[in-house]
Amino acid sequence: MTRAGAPIIVVGGGVAGLATALALAPRPVRLLCRANQGSDTASALAQGGIAAAVDRADSSDAHALDTLVAGARHNDAAMVRWLCRQAPAAIGWLEAQGVGFDRDAAGRLQLGREGGHRASRIVHAGGDASGAAITRGLRRRAQHAWHIQWRSDVDVQALRLRGGTVDGVRVLDSRGRRHDMDARAVVLATGGIGALFARTSNPAGANGSGLALAMAAGARLRDIEFVQFHPTALDIAGGHCLPLITEALRGAGARLQDGPGRPLMAGLHPLEDLAPRDVVARRVAQAQRTDGGAWLDARDLDSDWERCFPTVLAACLAHGIDPRRQRIPVTAAAHFHMGGVAVDADGRSSVAGLYAVGEVACNGVHGANRLASNSLLEGVLCGRRVGESLARLPRSTVPAGAHHWVGRGAELPPAESAALRDLLWQAAGPERDAAGLKSALQTCAAWRKDGWQAQLAHCLLTAALQRDRSLGAHYRTDAT
Q: What is the pLDDT along the chain (480 residues), one digit of tens a residue?
A: 345 579 999 999 999 999 999 999 999 999 999 876 555 666 666 667 899 999 999 999 999 999 999 999 999 999 999 999 999 999 999 999 999 999 988 999 999 888 889 999 999 988 777 888 899 999 999 999 999 999 988 999 999 999 899 999 999 998 889 999 999 999 999 999 999 999 999 998 899 999 999 999 999 999 999 999 999 999 998 899 999 998 889 988 999 999 999 999 999 898 899 888 888 999 999 999 887 899 999 999 887 898 888 889 999 999 999 999 999 999 999 999 999 999 999 999 999 999 999 999 999 999 999 998 999 999 999 999 999 999 998 876 555 678 899 999 999 999 999 999 999 999 999 999 999 999 999 999 999 999 999 999 999 999 999 999 999 999 999 986
User: What is the pLDDT at residue 4?
Assistant: 55
pLDDT reported for residue 115: 81
Pairing label, strands 122-123, 50-51: antiparallel
Whether 277 sits among the annotated catalytic residues: the reply is yes
- State residue 180's pLDDT score: 95
- The set of residues, in sequence order, having a beta carbon less than 8 Å from that of 358 and lying 6+ positions away, is 12, 14, 15, 16, 17, 189, 190, 191, 378, 379, 382, 383
Specify the pLDDT at position 1.
Answer: 38
Q: Taking the model in full, what pTM does it have? A: 0.93
Q: Please give the pLDDT value at position 2.
A: 45
> What is the spatial distance between Cα 158 and Cα 131, in angstroms, rounded to a whole number?
29
Half-sphere exposure of 327 (CA within 13 A, CB side): 17
Q: Which amino acid is residue 196, in one-letter code? A: L
Strands 328-337 and 340-342: unpaired
- Which segments of the chain belong to CATH 3.90.700.10? 231-334
CATH code that applies to domain 8-225+338-404: 3.50.50.60
Terminal CA-CA length for the chain: 58
Catalytic residue among 277, 283, 408, 432: 277
Delimiting residues of CATH 3.50.50.60 domain(s) in the chain:
8-225+338-404
Helix axis angle, 375-391 relative to 130-143, nearest 10°?
Answer: 20
CATH number for the domain whose boundaries are 231-334:
3.90.700.10
**H or E element at residue 296:** strand 294-297
Is the bond preceding residue 26 a cis peptide, omega within 30 degrees? yes
